[in-house]
Amino acid sequence: MDARLNLLTDPAAGKALKHFMAAGKAIKESPLPTMTQELVALRVSQINGCASCIDMHTKDATAAGESPVRLHLVAAWREATVFTDAERAALEVAEEGTRIADAADGVGDEVWAAAAEHYDEEQLTALVVLIAFMNTANRLNIMTRQPAGDYEPGQFH
């Protein structure tokens, strides 16, 4: 598959993406645990069907030490026993925040409260920004048909 646009070489895209990637770097440097960030990024990308982001986040998570079993079970996290309560809460916020059109109020109060039991305000902020960031990245990649498979861990960091 060939991409419709090369977002990395297009001058107009480059101007906007420079700032977008800076936001991604700020999220990476946040106090939200790295593995939680990768699991959430992967789940959002699975929901949206973004192959290039799934490629990136499975490889980055693996490079950071994540186990293949946990990565394979992200899509079925509710039934899996390999995730912590904190990770499960983050994954639920990610799902409701991504499937926002499915619920009139977006992330429900119970889901938010469960996440707040495990993450402080700075981490919750990072989680929300990460979910929004990933939804945007997914949409950019899907609309422009970015191919998957060639990503090298850490390529965009």
- The Cβ of residue 35 has, within 10 Å, a number of other Cβ atoms equal to 17
Residue with token string 């990308």: 45
User: Tens of pLDDT along 8-27?
Assistant: 777 787 788 888 888 989 99
Q: Are 98 and 135 in contact (CB under 8 A)?
A: yes
Domain boundaries, given as residue ranges, for the chain: 32-143
Q: Where are the alpha helices (DSSP H) in the chain?
A: 11-28, 34-48, 51-63, 68-73, 85-98, 109-116, 121-143
d(CA 49, CA 15): 26
Residue of 142, 140, 134 lying closest to 27 (CA atoms):
134
What contacts 65, CB < 8 A, 6 or more positions away?
Answer: 35
User: Tens of pLDDT along 81-137?
Assistant: 999 999 999 999 999 999 988 877 789 999 999 999 999 999 999 999 999 999 999
Q: How confident is the model at residue 157 (pLDDT cuts 50, 70, 90)?
A: low
Question: What secondary structure letter does DSSP report for 146?
Answer: -
* CATH fold for the domain made of 32-143: AhpD-like (1.20.1290)
Q: Are 61 and 39 in contact (CB under 8 A)?
A: yes
Q: Record the pTM.
A: 0.91
pLDDT, averaged across the chain: 92
